[in-house]
Amino acid sequence: MTASNGETSVRRLASEILLKVDIQKAYADILLDQRIRIQRLQERDRALLTELVYGTLRWRGAIDAQLNRHLRRPLAETDPFIRNLLRVTLYQLLFLDKIPDYAAVNEAVQLAKKHGGGKVAGFVNGALRNFLRRNNETATPQATDDSIAVLAVKYSHPEWLVKKWLEYFGLEGAKELMRANNERSPLVLRVNTLKSDRRALLDLLERNGVTAVATQWSPEGVWVQSGSAVDGLPGFHQGLFQVQGEASQLVAYLLASQPEERVLDACAAPGGKTTHIAELMNDAGEVTALDISARGIEKIRDNAARLGLTSVRALRSDASRDFPGSFLGHFDRVLVDAPCSGLGTLRSHPEIKWHRNPSDIERLGRLQEKILDRVVPCLRPGGVLVYSTCTLTRDENEQVVESFLKAHREFELENAAGYLPEQAKSMVQGSYFLALPHRHNTDGFFAARMRKVA
């Protein structure tokens, strides 16, 4: 069996997307969506393209280790397109079995020839055939020790992150977390309770041939297990649901906003938490959503309009700077869903682990502390402040909260378990909300609830 021209084109597209992810630090999901729409790919090719891009990114560390064993010069010094073509092809050879090895190699050689001529094609041919001839191992090394270097290759995570998670979660916890990160991310919806309920949405999806089940932790969550693109799902254009991860859906419960209150969402795009807050308030009150990005504000407004919400006011603003006087003492509740390293979202954004480095963690920690300091004057006495991130580093989570509480004695930490839905009360460590991919099958999420007592 040989690959069709469409499949060859898909492998070229995958290599081009991975090239941009590699060089420009672009997000794979955005590039994939653009390519799929522009190329008007059929379902089979769309599925293959998605598999090649995400699979290669998940296992890039293990793939690179294999390639470097079979190249005469370091992979990092190879032409960027060819480097990513080799990664895509090795992912096929190691993880996919529908295309014979010889066909996958031949496709790569032809694409390399079109890109750089005969010499480049010879290089690719030699590297891949050398791999096939000399390597009968799996995608992970056979070494049994638990050194950072071995774990980094075996679970395909950068060494600095392996070290950090060994310190945070211990050996077995870190292994389980990294293993979970290499699984596919589920598509989760949040039913718009102002227009429907979860049972009705599940029935609607089922009648239209979409397999979906209720989520375990969030009372409004629906886990979609089959179906088309999100905007093609029944109920999307009618505003019956919003795409939002299950752990993210629980953050609004920590805020516990009431109808007619005034709420500030300081870092709000794309608006998942903003719109959930408004729904839990029965769209009665005032939800001010800020974001530094004009495109982010547009997304918030679009989502609020589609969901039929009138209490949301989206404004472009930098939460790390001083707020206008009209904001001071104005809000009953403030949510800071802070800019973070995103290391809790590696199932859906595997490229993040290759883009981040320890200096990013330090820089983001300083920014998070600055934003928390800035929002303090906006909150009335007795008001509630919730700090959340979608990352799993102590530097951006517990340390930020501890530093804030030390500097702001007028705040006290409250136990998150007292505000979560009954089925989610166990997702607490100490007083903090902590969702973990390997324990809860959600994104990694952290949140702290604090009250301004003076």
Could you give the maximum distance between any two Cα atoms of the chain, in Å?
74
Same domain, residue pair 337 and 414: yes
pLDDT means per 10 residues, the chain with 454 residues, are 54 96 94 87 88 97 93 91 97 90 93 95 94 65 78 97 97 98 95 98 97 98 88 95 98 98 97 98 98 96 98 96 94 98 98 97 98 97 98 98 98 98 98 98 98 93
Same domain, residue pair 318 and 440: yes
In a domain, 396, yes or no: yes
Segments forming the whole domain that contains residue 219: 187-243
What pLDDT does residue 4 have?
42
SS (H, E, C) 397-448: CHHHHHHHHHHCCCEEEECHHHCCCHHHCCCEECCEEEECHHHHCCCCEEEE
Same domain, residue pair 443 and 400: yes
Same domain, residue pair 276 and 354: yes
Sheet order of strands, 187-191 included: 212-214, 221-224, 187-191, 241-243
In a domain, 192, yes or no: yes
Scan for tokens 């969506």, then name that residue. 33
Same domain, residue pair 373 and 265: yes
Centre a 10 Å sphere on the Cβ of residue 410 and count the other Cβ atoms it contains: 13
Q: Which helix (H) or strand (E) holds 265?
A: strand 262-265
Same domain, residue pair 285 and 334: yes
- Active-site residue, from 267, 340, 378, 390: 390
Same domain, residue pair 255 and 367: yes
Q: Is 267 a catalytic residue?
A: no
CATH of the domain at 308: 3.40.50.150
What pLDDT does residue 140 have?
47
Same domain, residue pair 117 and 266: no
Residues 358, 283: Cα–Cα separation, whole Å:
41
Same domain, residue pair 37 and 110: yes
Same domain, residue pair 326 and 446: yes
Contacts of 144 (CB under 8 A, 6+ apart): none
What pLDDT does residue 39 have?
81
Q: How many domains does the chain have?
A: 4
Residues 277, 311: Cα–Cα separation, whole Å:
10
Same domain, residue pair 304 and 427: yes
What pLDDT does residue 5 have?
47
Asked if residue 361 lies in contact with residue 409, where contact means CB atoms within 8 angstroms, the answer is: no
The residue count of the chain comes to 454
User: Model-level pTM?
Assistant: 0.93
Same domain, residue pair 40 and 172: no
In a domain, 91, yes or no: yes
CATH of the domain at 206: 3.30.70.1170
In a domain, 144, yes or no: no
